[in-house]
């Protein structure tokens, strides 16, 4: 643990935030296909992806960067996540298409089942992430301007609620419309039953992430203050 802390002190704090965010994007893409039961309500069984537990960390990183480095830097972070997903998809298709070695043939079916991804789901994931992330950053920045930099908890949650709603609606609609139901009305009912519990669960993760957002801002703010003091010292020296 001491060695890890010593190593982390040598890294730029902003780079650590970016690494945490990209880590969340990659793990969600690779392991988010596992679904766990959420519970039963009104006779319906609700399930959620295990990737939802990555959201507090991703909310923290994005909002902390947006708070201290501004909208442009936060948008760059979102688009880095998009680029990673775009690059990941063709490699997954390549990896699942290549033949296995003879002694690992027994793993072929399971490997392809776990990492295989249809083009429709891949496109849905990338489009939803890009649109929702951009909207999240925009709403956070607008609220920050109107509130004059106050009420971080409110700005963080409202932007996350809005972004996750769009993310869930876009992904579910693009990925599953017409797959499990026939007709417009039936599809809307089916999608509504999927979208609502997912979105509410994401909102709960946003609320949970609020203390983490404050911690992330304090973490990055310490770096900015240190940098400011260093710059002032250099000016005085000159």
- Interval 204-232: pLDDT, tens: 999 999 999 999 999 998 855 545 433 43
Find all residues with CB under 8 Å of 174, minimum gap 6, and list them. Answer: 120, 123, 124, 127, 128
Residue 149: pLDDT above 80? yes
> How far is C-alpha 117 from the geometric centre of its chain's CA atoms?
19
Identify the H or E element spanning 39: strand 35-41
Residue 152 falls inside a structural domain: yes
Residue 144 falls inside a structural domain: yes
Residue 136 falls inside a structural domain: yes
Residue 191: pLDDT above 90? no
Count CB atoms within 10 A of the CB of residue 215. 13
Percent of the chain with pLDDT over 90: 47
Residue 46 falls inside a structural domain: no
Domain count, the chain: 1
Residue 43 falls inside a structural domain: no
Q: Residue for token digits 């069984």? A: 45
Residue 69: pLDDT above 70? yes
Q: What is the pLDDT of residues 88-129, one digit of tens each?
A: 888 888 888 888 888 877 787 777 777 776 667 888 889 999
Task: Tell me the mean pLDDT in the region 27-44.
Answer: 77
Find all residues with CB under 8 Å of 26, minimum gap 6, and list them. Answer: 84, 88
Residue 215 falls inside a structural domain: yes
Residue 5 falls inside a structural domain: no
Q: With beta carbons less than 8 A apart as the criterion, state whether 205 and 52 touch.
A: yes
- Residue 45: predicted pLDDT: 66
Owning domain of residue 72: 12-33+52-232
Q: With beta carbons less than 8 A apart as the criterion, state whether 6 and 22 touch.
A: no
236 to 75, 83, 222, 229, 231: CA distances (angstroms): 35, 42, 21, 11, 9
- Residue 160: predicted pLDDT: 94
Residue 178 falls inside a structural domain: yes
Percent of the chain with pLDDT over 70: 85
């Amino acid at each position: 643990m001491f060695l890890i802390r010593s190593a982390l002190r040598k890294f730029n704090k902003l780079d650590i935030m970016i690494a945490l965010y990209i880590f969340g994007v990659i793990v969600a893409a690779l392991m988010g296909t596992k679904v766990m039961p959420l519970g039963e309500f009104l006779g319906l069984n609700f399930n959620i992806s295990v990737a939802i537990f990555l959201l507090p960390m991703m909310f923290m990183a994005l909002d902390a960067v947006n708070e201290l480095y501004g909208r442009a830097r936060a948008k760059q972070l979102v688009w880095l996540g998009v680029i990673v997903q775009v690059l990941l998809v063709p490699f997954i298709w390549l990896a699942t298409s290549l033949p296995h070695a003879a002694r690992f043939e027994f793993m072929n079916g399971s490997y392809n089942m776990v990492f295989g991804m249809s083009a429709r789901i891949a496109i849905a994931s990338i489009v939803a992430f890009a649109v929702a992330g951009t909207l999240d950053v925009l709403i956070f920045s607008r609220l920050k301007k109107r509130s004059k930099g106050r009420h971080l908890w409110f700005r963080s949650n409202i932007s996350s609620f809005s972004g996750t709603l769009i993310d869930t609606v876009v992904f579910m609609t693009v990925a599953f419309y017409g797959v499990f139901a026939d007709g417009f009305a039936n599809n809307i009912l089916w999608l509504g039953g999927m979208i609502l519990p997912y979105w509410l669960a994401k909102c709960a993760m946003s609320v949970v992430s609020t203390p983490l957002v404050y911690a992330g801002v304090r973490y990055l703010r310490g770096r900015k203050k240190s940098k400011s003091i260093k710059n002032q010292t250099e000016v005085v020296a000159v």
